[in-house]
Structure 1
Amino acid sequence: MLADACDLLNPQGVHPSVDSIAKRCLDILGALVGLGITGAVLIPLVVAMQIDSPGPIFYSQVRCGLHGRPFRIWKFRSMVVGADRLKHLVNNEAKGNIFKNRNDPRVTRVGRFIRRTSLDEFPQFWNVLKGEMSLVGTRPPTVDEVMKYEPHHFQRLLVKPGITGEWQANGRSQVENFEEIVEMDIAYQQKWSFFYDVKLIFKTIQAVFKKEGAY
């Protein structure tokens, strides 16, 4: 059903970024570098996580990718064990079909650090290497979020989901309105080029070093 809704919005075919060989080569190269860094930080990160909040190292969740197709995303766990079951107890400070809380009590001490530095996202380089994601694209929404989409929201699913994207590079956690995020995702599709992806990657790195990471 989700894929059909996306196809109706894009009768001319897939977005050119999906079939770009240059973009795929960039993804593979970036994924290999990212996985190398992930391996380098894995042991000290695991030790810190287990001291702070014993439990699984990784967190996985089914998300919606290109044309709404479901896939399993991977992250380093940044919340207490069983955090999904406690979500209803936390106030959503964002507007629309996203969930954000600046002082989410479910986030661990180490979790706040890896979110601020974006280290929690590094396992997603495996998703990129597999072709389920791209380095740059749209952040993959949850199935529950997509089930609440209005017709124009599905346009953001016409490109592969990315580790970073337009709103991460230009707003990070300061953007809390879903409609604004949708506008930025659609703008990315309109402005897309190989070199624009490279530009957004470098802008994201700058944002992380300026401590503009997620919360």
Structure 2
Amino acid sequence: MNFLDNSAIISYKNKTSPQNLEIHPSVISRTKRVLDIIGALIGLIITIIIAIPIAIAIKLEDAGPVFYSQIRCGLYGKTFRIWKFRSMIVNADQQKHLVFNQAKGHIFKNENDPRITRVGRWLRRTSLDEFPQFWNVLKGEMSLVGTRPPTPDEVIQYQESHRQRLSVKPGITGEWQVRGRSRITDFEQIVSMDLKYQQKWSCFYDIYLILQTVAVVLARKGAY
């Protein structure tokens, strides 16, 4: 991960503050929050059940930590620490500059990223690596459904048209997860999907996207 100058982060947060972004209805929806809490509790129960076999598999491949955390930007650009089951080698962030970025724009993707472990590749294809994020949902930092949570070094490069995607909470799933997952390599396409989600949003649409996500994950479509 590229660490940013504190003054740069503060400047960006000022631009994406509630005063500069219109409050989206999903942010103040009590029904959405109730759905998030119920979904997070169910997800955390599943996470506890699968954590032991996943931990054993990770440890058998290398001696690194089971969990991986990274700073991401959430609602209005506020930073938080996201959690996942580790799918890459130890110190993968420090080796990022050695890997070719196949994506276009302010995102990073490589279909054959050598930093991903064998266990990690399986975790990503099944989306099991994402399950610890239910803790972020329970804390209110994320939602079950929302926009893709970007890193600070991505958002610091945002143009005016990109900042609107930060007016809703980031989600474990969303339009990008249902429409292509890792196969979507154009940042502008992700932004377009995020903004369409904001336009279409309703609690019923969130439930629809959750059901669609389950179908896509079970079919193992679009992930690497």
Mark yes or no: TM-score above 0.5.
Answer: yes
- In structure 1, what is the equivalent of residue 149 of structure 2? 140
1:104-162 CA-to-partner distances (Å, cap 9, x unmatched) read 00000000000000010000000000000000001110000111111111111000010
| 1:173-214 superposed Cα distances (whole Å, 9 cap, x missing partner) | 221100000000000000000000000001111110111253
Q: Residue 74 of structure 1 is aligned with which of 74, 83, 91?
A: 83
Describe how 1:154-173 pairs up with structure 2 within 5 A.
154-173=163-182
- CA distance, structure 2, for counterparts of residue 121 and residue 172 of structure 1: 13
Q: CA deviation at 1:3?
A: 2.9
SS in 2 for 1:186: helix
Q: Does 1:105 align with 2:90?
A: no
Q: State whether residues 148 and 176 of structure 2, in contact with CA within 8 Å, keep that contact through their aligned partners in structure 1.
A: no
Give unpaired runs (5+ residues) of structure 1: none
Residue 184, structure 1, aligned to residue 196, structure 2 = no
User: What is the SS of the residue equivalent to 1:123?
Assistant: helix
Map of 1:17 onto structure 2: 26
Partners in 2 of 1:16 and 1:106 — Cα distance? 39
Point out where structure 2 has 5 or more consecutive residues left out of the alignment. Answer: 1-10
Q: Which amino acid aligns with 2:27?
A: V
Give the distance between the partners of 1:114 and 1:174, measured in 2 at CA: 16
Q: In the TM superposition, what whole-angstrom CA distance separates every residue of 1:41-66 from its partner, at most 9, and x where no partner exists?
A: 11111111000121111101111000
Residue aligned with 1:49, SS: helix
Q: Aligned to 1:59, what secondary structure does the other structure show? A: strand
Q: Tell me, in whole angstroms, the C-alpha distance in 1 between the residues paired with 2:199 and 2:12.
A: 22
Q: Cα deviation per residue 1:28-53 (whole Å; 9 max; x = unaligned)? A: 00000100100111111111100012
1:26 equivalent among 35, 40, 49: 35
Identity %: 63
Q: Conserved in 2, the CA contact under 8 Å of 1:2 and 1:67? A: no
Aligned length: 213
Select 1:5's aligned residue among 6, 9, 15. 15
Deviation at 1:9, TM superposition (A): 5.0
Instruction: Name the counterpart of 1:55.
Output: 64
Residue among 162, 170, 173 paired with 1:153: 162
Q: Give the TM-score, by structure 1 length.
A: 0.96
**Aligned equivalents of 1:75 and 1:213: distance in 2?**
19
